Amino acid sequence: MDSEVFDSFGSCYAANQDKIATKVKDGRIQKLRHYEIKGDLNMVTLKDIFRNNLDPFKINLSFGYVLKSVTHDSFRFYHPSNNSSFLPYPKLIQNQQDQDELLEMCKPDNILEFVYKQTLASSWAVNSIVCFAVRMSHLAPIHGMALRSSNR
């Protein structure tokens, strides 16, 4: 890769490092896990999520990537968001079969196809996938959380 192009990509990456870096945000109902991708997308991360969440939950993923202009050597970052979720609807995970189905859907070829389709009608092309976000919604009652009654 031309060093000038690499410098431009590196500048885009560095400018968005706070959005790309691995981080965790736990809410009472929803968890957000944000993972930087170093090398190939590693499904071990999803397996760790399954192992650490024993109660049923719904999950969806989105991907962050660096885009390169097709007309000139400039780059920009596309943040993983709910507006570009990988699955059309959050997937219910309540047993091993559900986990296996999600892992099958998340094969690298499927992810690459999804990401490239996001930019087909654009003057920007995907340069590299740099992070992904996992949103999980708990379905089991959370200890200490009062359930509201409809009777008042």
The pLDDT value recorded for residue 4 is 45
Structural domain for 109, as ranges: 3-138
| Residues contacting 20, CB < 8 A, separation 6+ | 13, 36, 64, 77, 130, 131
CA atoms within 13 A on the CB side of 51: 6
Does residue 149 form part of some domain? no
Closest by CA position to 135, among listed 102, 95, 90, 103 = 90
The pLDDT value recorded for residue 80 is 92
Q: What is the mean pLDDT of residues 105-120?
A: 89
Does residue 145 form part of some domain? no
- Region of poorest pLDDT, from 4-8, 39-43, 147-151: 147-151
Assess contact for 28 and 145: CB atoms under 8 A. Answer: yes
The pLDDT value recorded for residue 100 is 93
Whether the per-residue pLDDT at 101 is higher than 90: the answer is yes
Does residue 146 form part of some domain? no
Query: Which DSSP state fits 133?
Result: E
Assess contact for 109 and 102: CB atoms under 8 A. Answer: no
| Residues contacting 114, CB < 8 A, separation 6+ | 63, 86
pLDDT band for 148, please (50, 70, 90 cuts): very low
- Pairwise pLDDT comparison (121 vs 92), residue with the higher score: 92
Token pair for 138: 């708990």
Whether the per-residue pLDDT at 98 is higher than 60: the answer is yes
Residue whose tokens read 């959370």: 142
Does residue 28 form part of some domain? yes
Does residue 143 form part of some domain? no
Closest by CA position to 137, among listed 27, 62, 30 = 30
The pLDDT value recorded for residue 2 is 42
Write the pLDDT tens digit of every residue in 23-82: 889 888 889 999 888 766 666 788 888 888 888 899 999 999 999 998 988 899 999 988
Does residue 96 form part of some domain? yes
pLDDT band for 8, please (50, 70, 90 cuts): low
Does residue 55 form part of some domain? yes
Does residue 30 form part of some domain? yes
Say how many domains are in the chain: 1
